[in-house]
Every structure is written in structure tokens, then in C-alpha cells.
Structure 1
């Protein structure tokens, strides 16, 4: 089992000059550099500092996001801690929480939702391209707080080979109960990739 080292790639505006920040989380088998490349398709990021953490062995946790919790530990907690360290670095750099944004794909989308749901507050916004909250069963004790209407976009195909729609819908319910402004877009028969339409939705609802 692996523990994540504090490695990340940065781009965009220097944190001392940036008005906002975007944390981008790659999927299983991918890289920080790869997900960071998606920023070129996103709008209005001129004054954003971009952070893309890199998972050890290119995976945030070893098994399915719906595997028994103990199978994905301690990697999952280490991954959540990695994000928390990046968030704290951004806060220390003078960017407030309501100007911090999150974006992830697949395993990175699951991790994005799990992190913000365990740490709900007013963020700038979050995008989860094909993901849901993590765990064999959702432990509501993990999710307490108030998003104060933080906008969250979740997109997914149905069926998806890795992420059941039922888990996505349960995740939406939890986020809404935490006072997030959630938009869910389902693509019948959609493939396990990020489509141009999904990017357009992100630009419209999160980065407008």
C-alpha cells in the first residue's frame, strides 16, 4: 500500500498574484501534467493559480471507489491529506476558500467529491467529470457542514463502466443536504472520457 508524497505541478498565475486557485485531480493511471492540460479548454482562468497533485504510482487508491473502506486505506486518507495540504498552501498564499475551485476526472472526480464533502464550506465551485463519493457504503458521519450554495457540476455516462449512476445520485443527495448547488448531467451511453459538451457545461456553470 502506498502513501502519497507531496508532489504537484503548478501553472497559471503565481499564487502571490492570483485572484483564485484551481486544484485539478487526475484519474487512475494518468498524471498531474495530463489533467493540467485540460486547463487550456477552460475559460476565465487568467488570474487563477493552477495546482495538480500527482498520485504515487499514478493512482490515488488501489481498488474501486466502492470497495470496502479498509481495502483503500491508508492510500485514501493519504490522498485526502495531500489535497488538504494544497488547499492550506493556497489559503496561506492569501486566496480565500470562496476563490478555490476543484476539478477531477474519474478517480480524481471521486476524490474531489470526497474531499469537499468532508470539508464543506463556501468554495468557488467544483467539477466532477464521472465520479461519486467514496466507500462501500456512504458514512454520513464523514459529511457535516455547509457549502453555502457552492456550485457543483457532476457529469456521468449511463451506464459507466466504473461509476454506477445509483452512487452518483446518492452523492448528489448528500451534497444537496450539505447545501451545495448541484447540477447533474447524465449522458445515456456516454463513454468514460471528458467530452467537449462536459467542458462547455463546466465553463458555463462553474467558470463563467
Structure 2
């Protein structure tokens, strides 16, 4: 797996953040993510930042052009029906990255998995597949890429992880209805520690208020694990 790993500037890592990029991007988009979170108050100076890059694949919603993506989008509007085999494959990559951090001495309750847009979709989907909870799962401008909670035969204990889901209310790429439905579906699937918020005037992008709220989420989760 192609992944950039950014260790703390000094000392030993005491936590880990696995950040999955969006469609057509790569891991380098979030090279400064730890510093941005720390500037907003998150106690992540000693967090190891793991930035995997998705493989190239033909994206149906983009006329079959090759792009770096965690799964294919089968609907022409760019959301909705998804490529389940690739979703499963990407979730397994996320699971392996979590397991690798455990082998490096990072406790599971101090490991966070998140992503932006399509990366956030994978993070939420992985919550259904994990056999045990982790420190937290966050999805920024994404959604849960399933048709219905009723179609899921088995949900792992990862759904009990703290979950943070945010979106822009003016997002034309991932319309707000998708994350709003996702919140309902996640609760049906067993999520009990779920925080969600939409941001006025924000499109398919991150705003400072959103990063601040994520920082608060990480701080709360890290404090609970001490």
C-alpha cells in the first residue's frame, strides 16, 4: 500500500490518525493536517499521521476516466450506487493500517480513521467491518455508501466507535441529503456515539469551523483514552 507516514517531530507517537483522501487526489493533500488540527486545539502533536494513496481505477461517473479512487461511482451524478467489491478492498486496507499501528504500540482506542469525501465514505464503511471499536471515525463531506441498512447482514463492533460526520449545506458534489440519510442509517446499524453537523455556506470543502469541531472531537476521544 502506497502510504506516506509522518511521525511526530520529536519523541514517540502516542496516537495515530489515518486520513483517506478524496476522489482524484492523493495522500499528499493532507500532509499538514496534523498541524491544522493542532492549531485548532487538538492534542495531536504526538500523533503519527498515515496518508495512504488509493490506486487508479476507471470511474464510471466520470466517463470511465482513470482516477485515484477508493471505489468506483456507478451513478452518473457521482453519488449513490457504489462498487461494493472495491469498497470491501478499501476497508481491508484501512483495517490493515489500523492493525499495523497496533503492532507499533499504539493502543486501539488512540487510533483514528477518517477521510474527506470518498475517503470519508470508506471510513464509515470500515466502521461496519471492524470487529472492535477504535478511538474514533470521522467523515468530512462524505456519506455511508450503502443502499440501505436493511441490506447489511452483519455489523462489527466498530460501529460502536465514536463517529463524527460533517458536510457543507451548499455541497453540490455530495448533496446534504446523503450525509443526513447516512446519520439515520448509522443509527439503525447500531451507532450510539454519533455526532453530525452541516455548515451554512460551505460547499464540497473544509471550513475552519469544521476543522475546529473535528479538533474538539479528537480532543474528547483522546482524553477519554488516557
The answer to whether the 8 Å contact 1:151/1:182 transfers is yes
1:103–1:146 CA distance, 2 compared to 1 (3 A): closer
Q: Is the 8 A contact 1:32 1:54 kept in 2?
A: yes
State the shift of 1:189 in Å: 4.2
- What secondary structure sits across from 2:32 in the alignment? helix
Does 1:56 pair with 2:66?
no
Residues 1:193 and 2:188 are matched in the alignment: no
1:11-32: CA deviations, max 9, x gaps? 0239x93211110000001110
What's the offset of the Cα at 1:42?
Answer: 0.7
Deviations 1:72-125 (A, max 9, x none): 143222211211111111111121211111221001111111112322633222
Query: What is the 5 A alignment of 1:104-143?
Result: 104-119=115-130, 121-138=132-149, 139-143=151-155
The residue that corresponds to 2:86 in the other structure is: 75
SS at match of 1:52: strand
Summarize deviations over 1:153-194 as a string: whole Å, max 9, x none: 211123522324333233223433524411111124421001
Aligned length, in residue pairs: 198
Alignment partner, residue 18 of structure 1: 13
State the superposition RMSD in angstroms.
2.3
Counterpart for residue 80 of structure 2 = 66
CA contact (8 A) 1:126 1:153 kept: yes
Gaps of 5+ in 2: 57-67, 221-226
**Contact kept? 1:20, 1:48, Cα under 8 Å:** yes
In the alignment, the residues of structure 1 paired with residue 146 and residue 191 of structure 2 have an alpha-carbon distance, to the nearest angstrom, of 21
* TM-score, normalised relative to structure 1: 0.84
* 1:157 maps onto 2:142 in alignment: no
Q: 2:217 is matched with which residue? A: 205
SS at match of 2:202: coil
Contact 2:148 2:185 in 1 (8 A): no
Tell me what 1:3 maps to. none
Show the counterpart of 1:183.
Answer: 195
Would the aligned equivalents of 1:42 and 1:207 in 2 still touch at CA under 8 Å? no
Contact kept? 2:132, 2:157, Cα under 8 Å: yes
In structure 2, relative to structure 1, the CA distance for the partners of 1:8 and 1:202 (3 Å cut) is: same
